[in-house]
Structure formats: C-alpha cells, structure tokens
Amino acid sequence: KTERIERCLGTNPVDLWELRELALSDGGLLRAEYRRKAWPKLVGLTEEDYIPELELCKTNSVPSSPSLVITSSDDTSSSLEWDPTSNNVDIPMDEEEKKSEVEANIDLIRRDAGNTSLHYYQGLHDIAGVVLHNMDYDVDKTTQILIQISHSHLRDAMRENFANINWLLSVLLPPLVEKVDPYVHYSLQVAQVELATICLPWMITWFTHDIHDPETAGRLVDAFLSGHPLMPVYFAVALITHPVLKKDILQADCD
C-alpha cells in the first residue's frame, strides 16, 4: 500500500478518486508524512492557494487562561474561547503556541472576509490539533485546511448554534441504529437516551477529543476528509452498535 500511496501522490494531477480510496481503505494513509501531502489535496487545495494577506495573529506565548484575546486589522478585539488542556495530541509547548495561532488566524480570516455565517466553537481546536500535528506544525497549511472544511464538512457545526446539527442527529441516528441493531435501539429507547445529545460532541470534534492516540485520530480524519460529510454519523452508529459497547448498553440499568 505504501507504494500505491507514493505513486498516487507523485502524479500530477493527483487522481483524487484513487487517493480517497486509499484513505478509506485499511490503514488509511498510514502516516503523517503522506497525510501532509494528501490532506490539502483531499480538501481541494492546490499549489496556487494561499492564506489571504491579513494581519494574522502571532502569539508569543500560550495563554494561561481559557480565553485568548485577538485583534484584527481594524483594531477591534474579540475573545476566542479555548481550552488548552482538552486536546489529547501531545504537542510541545512551542507547538501549542502554533495551535493557538491557527485558531486565531481562522477567526481573523472569518471576520475580515465578512463571513459572519461561520462561528468558532469549543471543539474545533481538537480537530485543529490533529491537523496541525499531521501537517508537521505548519500553521499556514493547517489554517487553510481548516478554512476549507469549515465551508464543507464542518459547516453545520460552525453555525450560530448547534440547532441544525442537533436536529439532524435526532432524525438520522435512531432509525440508523435500529436498522443496524434493533436490540441496542430498543434498549436506548426504553432508557430514554437522547442519541443526539450523546453524539453531538463526537460530531463537532470528529471524535478527536476522546482519542489519546494521534495515529488513530489521524486515521479517522483520513476517512472523514475522504468520505461524505455524514461519515462521522455512520461511524457513531458503528461505535454504538459495536459488540463491546453493545454489551454495556444491554446490561446497563435503565436509570
């Protein structure tokens, strides 16, 4: 598979269908070296793409509190909520500075471009940490990838609130779980479990908040960037109906 990935990435232009197939198949893109080349192509970036020439935030240190104040080119300030302890990718201190810089850049670009339809949310930094790690801590490339997926895969999560995505989950999850495993569905119904409430954090972080292994997190992002935007929903259903979790659900007290 290594040879196939290298051959695919070495062609110009890259065969995106083959690249998606490689990213979705067993093992995904295998390692960060390949993801560094593949992820920008999977989100539609080309060599000509670049970060808009804005007065991007350059941080000197990691903020000691969960609030990072940034200033745009029009000298207006805004507060960007950020929890520096919540991401599970082990990032060195100087790379934490790059991570906060990525988040500040996203907010600045959004506001300077007048795109008020996109809103930063607590959880985006979890995805940002995984992308930054696999992009070898290249801030510009990470920022550009996140901007791309904010208009596609994460569009619903970045609305003013989570009402739309919550409604979507409440409509999709129960029938999908019932189709895959009626016993799990029945147990959840009896216990009056709101699947949308449970799965919402998974959707907005692409499960990266709860994954402690960077390689596993990278493997998931391989699939989510290559598949349909609803891929995280299908993965959530597979997780809920997995034999290990199924056993816990069926044996759990309804209270």
Closest CA to 22 of 7, 43, 44, 40: 7
pLDDT digits (tens, 9 = 90+) for 214-251: 999 999 999 999 999 999 999 999 999 999 888 888 88
Looking at the chain, the whole-number percentage of residues with pLDDT higher than 90 is 53
- Mean pLDDT within 115-141: 86
CA 118 to chain centroid, in Å, comes to: 15
- Mean pLDDT within 149-164: 91
Quick check: 78 pLDDT over 90? no
What are the extents of the domains in the chain?
2-42, 67-150, 163-251
According to the model, what pLDDT value does residue 92 have?
Answer: 54
Quick check: 101 pLDDT over 50? yes
According to the model, what pLDDT value does residue 114 have?
Answer: 55
According to the model, what pLDDT value does residue 245 have?
Answer: 84
According to the model, what pLDDT value does residue 254 have?
Answer: 64
Lowest mean pLDDT among 108-112, 120-124, 150-154: 108-112
pLDDT digits (tens, 9 = 90+) for 10-65: 998 899 999 999 999 999 999 999 999 999 999 998 765 544 444 444 444 333 32
Average pLDDT, the chain: 80
- Mean pLDDT within 143-170: 91
Which stretches within the chain are classed as H helix?
2-9, 16-24, 32-42, 93-112, 124-134, 139-150, 163-180, 182-190, 195-205, 214-226, 231-240, 243-251
Looking at the chain, the whole-number percentage of residues with pLDDT higher than 70 is 73
According to the model, what pLDDT value does residue 136 have?
Answer: 92
Lowest mean pLDDT among 60-69, 168-177, 184-193, 237-246: 60-69
According to the model, what pLDDT value does residue 99 have?
Answer: 66
CATH class of the structural domain 163-251: mainly alpha
How big is the chain, counted in residues? 255
The structure tokens 């060195």 sit at 92
According to the model, what pLDDT value does residue 205 have?
Answer: 96
pLDDT confidence tier of residue 102, bands split at 50, 70 and 90: confident
Question: How many CB atoms sit inside 10 A of residue 16's CB?
Answer: 14
CA 239 to chain centroid, in Å, comes to: 17
